[in-house]
Amino acid sequence: MGRLKWLSVLASVVGVTFGLVGAAAGAGSNNQDVISATGIPATLTSCTGNPHCPSAGAVTPAGFWIWSEPAGGNAYGESTGNGAGSLYFYALSPKEEAVDVSNVSVTPGSQPGTGTITETVTGANGPYSGLTCSFEATETSPGHGTVEFSCTLTFSGATLTFVSGPTVTESPVSGQVNISSAA
């Protein structure tokens, strides 16, 4: 009988704990977002300022992992709509480079587990310090979606512009898109 009473008390504590966590989560947006993909095609649309520029239309593998949260208050504190992560264009630098995220906006979708994230990504330092990108990611089902980006990078005296996709007309590309909101 003591064991049954102990299990009953434990179940009550767990139920109350999850109830309080759920109530607290509903009180603010608590939104955190992750978009990621590896080995996706990125197409060079232009390159100027360097006689060794590759031709427009050249494709290189690209990848990114970007965490962000939209502006506003939540359980994690006041956010200005920012984040961080990493990004690479294999033809330029085969290792990931740090990026900063700003201007984060999330638009909920019409179905649960869907929505769209827009954000600005800039190089944090190193070879991508001259990087500026616009990202738009749409979560089409929980954890899945499509990503479009356009990036301009000043690199070794050249200005390069990349877009997502194997050609300019074949964007967006598939990626992992997680919009986590307890609102």
| CA–centroid distance for 104 within its chain | 10
Instruction: Report in angstroms the alpha-carbon separations of 108 from 37, 89, 179.
Output: 21, 30, 9
Per-residue pLDDT of the chain (183 residues; tens, 9 = 90+): 454 444 343 344 333 333 333 333 333 457 789 999 988 888 888 888 888 778 888 888 899 999 998 887 666 666 778 899 999 988 887 788 999 999 998 888 888 778 899 999 999 888 888 899 999 999 888 888 889 889 998 877 788 888 887 655 556 778 888 877 644
Please state the φ and ψ torsions of residue 19, each to the nearest 5 degrees: -65, -45
Residue whose tokens read 């360097």: 50
Number of residues in the chain:
183
Residue 108 CB-density burial (10 A; 0-12 exposed, 13-18 middle, 19+ buried): middle
The helix (run of H) or strand (run of E) holding residue 4 is: helix 2-27
Q: Where are the domains of the chain?
A: 1-30, 31-180
Q: HSE on the CB side for 140, CA within 13 Å?
A: 9
Phi-psi region at 157: left, alpha or beta (left = phi > 0; alpha = psi -120 to 50): left
72-122, pLDDT tens digit by residue?
766 666 677 889 999 998 888 778 899 999 999 888 888 877 889 999 999
